[in-house]
Structure 1
Amino acid sequence: MANEQRKTLIVGSGCFGLSTARALLKRGWTDVTVIDRATTLPAPDGASNDLNRVVRTSYSDPFYSKMASDAIQEWKNRDEWHDAYHESGVVVLGSPDSDYKHQAYLHDLEMGLRVESLDNQAAFRQVFPPKATIASFENITGYLNRDGGWANAGQGVKLLMNQVTALGGKIHAGKAAVELIQQGESLKTTGVRCGDGTVFEADLVVLATGSWTGSAFPDLLTGKIYQATGQCIAMIQLTPEEADAYRDCPVVLDVTSGFYMFPPTDQNLVKIAVHAPGYTRSVGEKNISTPRTITSDPETGLLIPKANVKELRDGLRKVHPTLAEKPFVATRMCWYNDSFDSDWVIGYHPKSEKSLMFATAGSGHAYKSYRAFFSFKFITYSDEQVIGRLVADAIEGKLSTEVAVKFAVDRTPNDSDDFRLKMVPEELDLNQLCTPEDLL
């Protein structure tokens, strides 16, 4: 059977799943279906659906720097992505001896991007709006990359869904995959059974299930190469006058502390977060880390630990001390599927006879961009998405040996250059979640 005629089922409608569907359809595949557990799409608790994601090239790994640079050019295509991308610039901060920051700066220079070194308070003052209060940036250096910014994550996913359906793809909400249909004791996969009893038959099943991969399919690769981790986010509501003062700020990312923040949205919300080892939530006999979100726990699924509330406020104080005195109006525990070396997992299960493909472990840089917190920028590449192109190439056997090994399902994880992945995540303690008083 020709590839284009294979009945293909993609489980998950985040950036991995939708970009894969789009890439296959653009290559002439004629029978592509996407299913998702969420009853409304984009999934309200999906990592790909949020206010914003950082779009940057500033990586210590040149592989991702180059991919990001190519993707940014496509983000500027307003015919396809409308006004989802905002080129605010990205300020990369770090201690003076930060090797990550230094390598990222060199890669941006080598690509000919518009970068400016920032090594004193006067230099920092020049890249922020005059009415925005900034800190002294003592013992911190950095640089501004004007070829980057942020993207409206939810808007981007909706646009991508529309593109998939316009190309003839089918998308079904409210279909939670609970079982892979396989032949006898073999891992040759012929479809998926959903929680409501629906069965989707397929010649090829693509698991693009993000942080739910381990808990939904516990007998596959969990604990060997990836796990779900919860990351902490908070929001601040500005008045229109305050927002105008900070509107033209760049995205700020501190690669030493992990703190990052965005300029105000059109609703005058400022989102802040910390790039950290995160939290696991071990469930069941196999202690598989399982997301805890607004969908599974409507009352408390958005709450973050008290300690992280303080950490977020401390990080904000080192950039915009005036904003650090304002209350947090919302929090979110955002879940990612982290690989143990921060590289994606893209490839066939070695025992599935090329019927089961993995497209997961975004490690926070598949729709945002800083290894574990920002990755949206990778959605596009030339006329296909970066992720979609990679998965489609893997399906069709077109990946170079180097890239196939880098993303292989059965690889031995390399030593990551991401500091947070060198640390062990904490187990989430539900007794330590924040209260409304903690946010004041």
Structure 2
Amino acid sequence: MSAPRKTVIIGSGCFGLSTALHLLQRGWTDITILDKAPTLPAPDGASNDFNRIVRTSYSDPFYASLAQDAIREWKKADEWQDTYHESSVLVLGSDTGPAYARESYKNDAAMGLRVESLQTLDAVRGIFPEAVKTGDFAGLTGYLNRDGGWANASQGVSILIEKIKQLGGKILSGKSVVEIVHAGSSLKATGVRCSDGTVFDADLVVLASGSWTASAFPEYSIGDLYRATGQSVAMVQLTPEEGLAYRDIPVILEFENGFYIFPPNDKNIVKMAIHAAGYTHSQPVGTKSVSTPRTILSNPADGLRIPNEKVRDLRAGLRAMYPALAEKPFVATRLCWYNDTVDGDWVIGFHPASQNTVVFATGGSGHAYKFLPVIGRLVADAIEGKLDPSVAEKFSPTRPTSSHADESRHDSTQELDLQSLCTPQDLEP
């Protein structure tokens, strides 16, 4: 498994690009990335956005430590330019609610990070500039992690695409893979076939197809380990004066209800979202019903619209954090599609029936992007048979998932009701 092989990677998102980078850096030379999107970064890819949270604040020490590694890489300006912005991350929870925030604090403190416990309402409000009017944060406590912030997601992806090309990797857009070509009746892969009839031979196929994995490659699904979920996002536009006032605020991540919100970007847009179980969009795939992404590319007319109930939830979250902004209209929404696993852990490893020819690199579960500089290291280790056994078990495609659930979310998925999607009128305050 350690010898470099002719490799096709399906998907140019976080997993696919990072895997290609790390394999190329290890001396692999024949690597081709295929993506169905007409342009890259993919307009409907979860990795293509103007910001993503970069935090070490995990209740699981493994992710906390790996995120610390990633941040060290993000800070290398000669590699990533100004993609990473260390705005700090305000992690909120409660003394009686889910333990995720409290356990995250313990892990961050144990790693020696710059964290400040905030156990009173005045302490929480005190970290904000005087010009920023905040809510009262009733019932919430938490901590400020100064070793975190956010990354310009599309910029990071674009930089990585250029890195891969410079190292000799090939990246082709507009190539929708419709079939993994097998050797006879087995699942041993010999290449892939695209919708235009093009066939790419390969000794190794990396399934880094994100939220499209279950619907596009059902023959490789193992149980119900992962599924596509739509997550609700909205944005408000600030004036230049407001943008200046709110510029130096932290990312806020509240684990009581999953609401999170960013500082304004360079265009003075503030983005907010809810880290929740999200929505499924079930469609017939063979004999099964499989959740399938519904995006701006597949549904240009309304692929960005979110359920109206989430418009209300996002408005309530905004009002609780920044009441002075709560009467602004939402200028844009997005239903962002993740490939969620039952336990929130990623899926990295060979399909057991593929004879080491098909490897999973997926299951981001809404928390993969921050690891862009390093996540491919895990996949490359898995491919080369170097992954620590305990880590391999954690991410195994055949792992049992009944032992624990995703501790960062506390609700259940709902089926997307297309009749409930928001209208322009719903976006007004």
Check whether TM > 0.5: yes
Is the Cα–Cα contact under 8 Å of residues 120 and 137 in structure 1 kept in the other structure? no
Alpha carbons 2:222, 2:397 under 8 Å: kept:
no
Is residue 434 from structure 1 mapped to residue 422 from structure 2 by the alignment? Answer: yes
Secondary structure at the residue paired with 1:127? coil
Whether contact under 8 Å (2:121, 2:140) holds in the other structure is no
Which of the residues 347, 365, 368 maps onto 1:366? 368
**Structure 2 unaligned regions, length at least 5:** none
Q: Give the aligned residue type for 2:327.
A: E
Q: Which residue of 2 aligns with 1:225?
A: 225
- Distance in 2 between the 1:412 and 1:122 partners? 44
CA distance in 1, matches of 2:262, 2:171: 31
Question: Residues 255 and 408 of structure 2 are in contact (CA less than 8 Å); yes or no, is this contact kept in structure 1?
Answer: no
Amino acid at match of 1:250: P
Which residue in the other structure is 1:415 paired with? 404
**C-alpha distance in structure 2 between counterparts of 1:130 and 1:424, whole Å:** 38
Match of residue 87 from structure 1: 86
How many Å separate the matches in 1 of 2:140 and 2:405? 24
User: Which deviations, in whole Å up to 9, do the C-alpha atoms of 1:306-341 show, x marking residues without a partner?
Assistant: 000000011111111111111100000000000111
Report which stretch shifted further, 298-307 or 283-292: 283-292
Counterpart contact for 2:237–2:269, Cα < 8 Å: yes
- Measure how far apart 1:122 and its partner are: 2.2
* Equivalent residue for 1:339, pick from 335, 338, 341: 341
Contact 2:222 2:398 in 1 (8 A): no
1:214–1:222: 8 Å Cα contact kept in structure 2?
A: no
1:26-425 equivalence runs, <5 A: 26-98=25-97, 99-221=99-221, 223-284=223-284, 285-367=287-369, 377-380=370-373, 385=374, 387-413=375-401, 414-420=403-409, 423-425=411-413
Q: CA offset at residue 2 of structure 1?
A: 6.5
| Cα distance in 2 for residues equivalent to 1:419 and 1:64 | 13
How far 1:64 sits from its partner (Å)? 0.4
- C-alpha distance in 2 between matches for 1:203 and 1:93: 47
Partner deviation per Cα, 1:186-213 (whole Å, 9 max, x = no partner): 1110000001111110010001000000
% identical equivalent positions: 62
SS at 1:106 equivalent: helix
CA distance in 2, matches of 1:48, 1:127: 30
* Matching residue's letter, 2:236: I
Matches of 1:426 and 1:221, distance apart in 2: 21
Contact 2:342 2:406 survives alignment (8 Å)? no
CA gap of 1:327–1:122, structure 2 versus 1, over 3 A, is same
Q: What residue identity is the alignment partner of 2:385?
A: G
Query: For residues 417 and 308 of structure 1, what CA distance do their matches in structure 2 show?
Result: 21
SS of the equivalent of 2:218 reads coil
Letter of the 1:426 partner, please give it.
Answer: Q
For 2:294 and 2:288, locate their aligned partners in 1 and report how far apart those are by CA, in whole Å.
17
Question: Cα distance, 1:155 vs. partner?
Answer: 0.3
Structure-2 separation of matches of 1:417 and 1:90 = 21
Q: In structure 1, what is the Cα distance between the partners aligned to 2:273 and 2:133?
A: 19
Tell me by how many angstroms 1:121 deviates. Answer: 2.9
Instruction: Give the residue type in structure 1 aligned to 2:26.
Output: R
Runs of 4+ aligned residues of structure 1 deviating over 3 Å after TM superposition are none
Q: Supply the distance in 2 between the matched residues of 1:57 and 1:357 (Cα, whole angstroms).
A: 27
Structure 1 unaligned blocks of 5 or more:
368-376
> What SS is found at the alignment partner of 2:219?
coil
Aligned to 1:373: none
Counterpart CA distance in 2 for 1:403 and 1:119 is 35
Code of the residue aligned with 1:436 in structure 2: it is P
Tell me, in whole angstroms, the C-alpha distance in 2 between the residues paired with 1:90 and 1:231. 21
Q: Is the 8 A contact 2:2 2:384 kept in 1?
A: no
Counterpart residue number, 1:374:
none
Which string of whole-angstrom CA distances, capped at 9 and with x for unpartnered residues, describes residues 233-258 of structure 1?
Answer: 00000000011110000000001110
In 1, Cα distance between equivalents of 2:197 and 2:294: 24
Tell me the SS of whatever aligns to 1:219.
Answer: helix
Displacement of 1:220 after TM fit?
1.7
Whole-angstrom distance in 2 between the partners of 1:436 and 1:223: 39
